[in-house]
Amino acid sequence: MISVCLAAYNGEKFISEQVTSILSQLGAGDELIVSDDGSKDSTIAILHRFVDSRLTIVKNTGSHGYVGNFENALRQAKGDYIFLSDQDDVWLPSKVTKVVERLQVYDLVIHDAELIDGNGNPLGCNYYSVTHHNKGFLMNLWKTRWLGCCMAFRRNVLDYCLPFPEKIVAHDYWIGMLGMTKFSYYFMDDVLIQYRRHGGNASPSSEKSGYSWFYRLYKKRLYLLFSLMNRIAFCRG
């Protein structure tokens, strides 16, 4: 069974196209869980137009923001294979088939994405090229290459990653780095989604950080490293 976990917030402009691209690839026994973080626009109304038993809409009852919203969705997941999804991208037709094939061998898989603008026009580059894609732990700790909307993993990874530490700055950074230390992982070169950059994204992946050097060093890296060691030590105990 496949569970797709999508975090939504004021996504009326693009969410219909994204949900359509996901449902078209899921089987009868799979599920798409959309966790809404209190949208003020017509996001919920648009979602209710989909008459599809595979779609479940839940309200985020945990911490607000995209990290807490994703955790809320993940806690509802029942599948053996879990995919993460943003509300404003487009899944290309072969995404699920190709990723699930890799998940037969690896616990955690991430693939490449084509960058597009708000109108769906290609920006002439892929995510890996923007982030100077590297597979090593230290390089990913320094500059993360984990992009949640390009990530999928087995149930054992999800069970190990939950609950999220309270102060992590990104769910995909946490899952990717923890997965890299404890599980088998694979970076696919395949471009399997169109990743929309339009200035209103909930997370700033692939864009220059506006945070201070101290914040990026301590909060994002050192705190993450501390949380990784703490989780590993706790699970061993």
How do residues 82-112 score in pLDDT, each as one tens digit? 999 999 999 999 999 999 999 999 999 999 9
Using the predicted structure, report yes or no on whether residue 144 has a pLDDT greater than 70.
no
For the chain, what percent of residues have pLDDT higher than 70? Answer: 77
The predicted model gives 171-191 an average pLDDT of 90
The closest of 180, 153, 161, 170 to 234, measured between CA atoms, is 161
**Confidence at 227, pLDDT banded by 50, 70, 90:** low
> Which of 59-63, 131-135, 192-196 has the highest average model confidence (pLDDT)?
192-196
Using the predicted structure, report yes or no on whether residue 209 has a pLDDT greater than 50.
no
Phi then psi for residue 152, to 5 deg, are -145, 155
pLDDT value for 167: 76
Q: Name the burial class of residue 82, with classes exposed (0-12), middle (13-18) and buried (19+) by CB atoms within 10 angstroms of its CB.
A: buried
Using the predicted structure, report yes or no on whether residue 129 has a pLDDT greater than 60.
yes
